[in-house]
Amino acid sequence: MNAACRAHWVAAAPLRHGPAAGRRHDSSAAALSSKVCRPAQLRQSSHSRYLVRRLGPPGGRAVALDAAFPFDREAKMKKQHTQQLKLRIGIVGFGTFGQFLAQRMVKAGHEVIATNRSPCFEAAEAMGVRFYTDANDFCEEHPEVVLLSTSILSLEKVLGALPVQRLKRSTLFVDVLSVKEFPKRLLLRELPQEVDILCTHPMFGPDSGKGSWAGLNLQFDRVRIGQDEERQRRCDAFLAFYEREGCEMVEMSCEQHDQLAASTQFITHTVGRMLGAMQLAPTPIDTKGFQSLLSLVDNTANDSFELYYGLFMYNQNSTEVLDRLEKAFDEVKARLLRQLHDKVRQQIFYGQSDDTQMLPAANRISASTEDTAQAAAPSAATTADKPGGSNGAGKRGSGTKHAKHAAPVKSAVESA
Ligand code: NAP
């Protein structure tokens, strides 16, 4: 690098010693670019003190060529740090989500290998992942991190079939299951004491995380990480992958995750699936609200039913949430029908204006057809006579008018 180039590079390069140091550096960089050293600014950090020593007496002319050295050192250190963040990650379960993660990991510079029940050579090759059908071969590649991305329902079986003895002793096991207490217990129970365990749940999928991951949540629980520096570093390096993608890092116990996820994620999937079953379709007059319902259906329908079932079966809190959802639906429906009943009863007992046309078609009877009214009369009499008694509906009406409203009540009650 010639002197002119270095001078330019020194002036442009930011310092990465934290924001305050960075700001201080801006002024010193400006000073260097004009090649005049201003001592008051340069004396503020150890790095700057180093520059003062190198650049001669305060107020003297600075030679940018000399100043480049620490930046070279810094670049080297940065490179070394980046190298430390690179991991050999072995993915077990190379389905939709495993492949989704693998793609990003490769892009981030990690070495990724994978194994799966059914062969996925082509998909793996396309994204620069080495694929192994034989789990023995996979383990003998000695990945530093084994990432479990198999279905919730198959985890126990898959883990049981993995020849863990072929891995290095202190391998880090990470799971990405959408439920957390279950894998935590299973991994603690099944894996040898010497392996590390990190439970994670990326709270997004191939649809919601199609573009940037900025602001998307990553829950994690360092369930069992050995105390020595290297094992801590490896765990941090793995988490740094998500952090560098812009995820919100949420450290939380697996138990707490399941409590919260039941009333957030599980409910989202349930409502999405219910609406999906209704086969809703876009119309020319869609509201924003309806469009967001359609996108909820899209976001949830692409996940396998097995995954959804896993959210229910393997989270102890899901049944209660499902019950609450059902109860809430019943309450809302009952409130609607109560309002309808109240209105019709007003008409039955107090003969208020005839606005049956306001009722839903299914509950409406033809007000003009005397025969229909007559046919409904017995049930009307039963309904009206009971509460009315001697001063009730029977006194006021001839039966025909009340019969007109009795049918809607019956129909509404039956449908409730
Ligand atoms: P999934 O249906 O939950 O899992 C599919 C994977 O499990 C495939 O690799 C599949 O292998 C494997 N598998 C299923 N049954 C198996 C069995 N009996 N024996 C061996 N392997 C079996 O779909 P996914 O979306 O890829 O999810 C994978 C994991 O990521 C799940 O634990 C899920 O909870 C978690 N996760 C998913 C999302 C998401 O948005 N999709 C987000 C966060 C976390 P084959 O290819 O051979 O069928």
Per-residue pLDDT of the chain (416 residues), as tens digits, is 444 434 333 333 333 333 333 333 333 333 333 333 333 333 333 333 333 333 334 444 444 445 556 667 777 776 666 666 799 999 999 999 999 999 999 999 999 999 999 999 999 999 999 999 999 999 999 999 999 999 999 999 999 999 999 999 989 999 999 999 999 999 999 999 999 999 999 999 998 899 999 999 999 999 999 999 999 999 999 999 999 999 999 999 999 999 999 999 999 999 999 999 999 999 999 999 999 999 999 988 888 899 999 999 999 999 999 999 999 999 999 999 998 888 888 888 888 765 555 555 555 544 444 444 444 444 433 333 333 333 333 333 333 344 444 444 344 333 33
Ligand 1 contact via 28 beta carbon (within 6 Å)? no
Place of tokens 């009650």: 413
Q: Which atom of ligand 1 is nearest to the CA of 209?
A: 40
For residue 361, what are its two tokens?
Answer: 């078609």
Regarding the beta carbon of 200 and ligand 1, being less than 6 Å apart is answered no
β-sheet bridge partners, residue 197:
173, 224
Centroid of ligand 1 to alpha carbon of 153 (angstroms): 9
The rounded distance, in Å, linking the Cα atoms of 126 and 120 is: 10
Residue 282: other Cβ atoms inside 10 A = 9
**Where are the chain's structural domains?**
3-68, 80-252, 261-338, 359-415
pLDDT at 385: 39
Q: Which atom of ligand 1 is nearest to the CA of 94?
A: 9
**In this predicted structure, what is the pLDDT of residue 388?**
38
What is the number of the ligand 1 atom nearest to the C-alpha of 307?
3
- pTM above the 0.85 mark? no
- Report which ligand 1 atom has the smallest distance to the Cα of 99: 26
- Let me know if domain 80-252 sits in CATH 3.40.50.720: yes
Cβ of 118 less than 6 Å from ligand 1: yes
pLDDT at residue 132 in the model: 98
Pairing mode of beta strands 172-175, 145-148: parallel
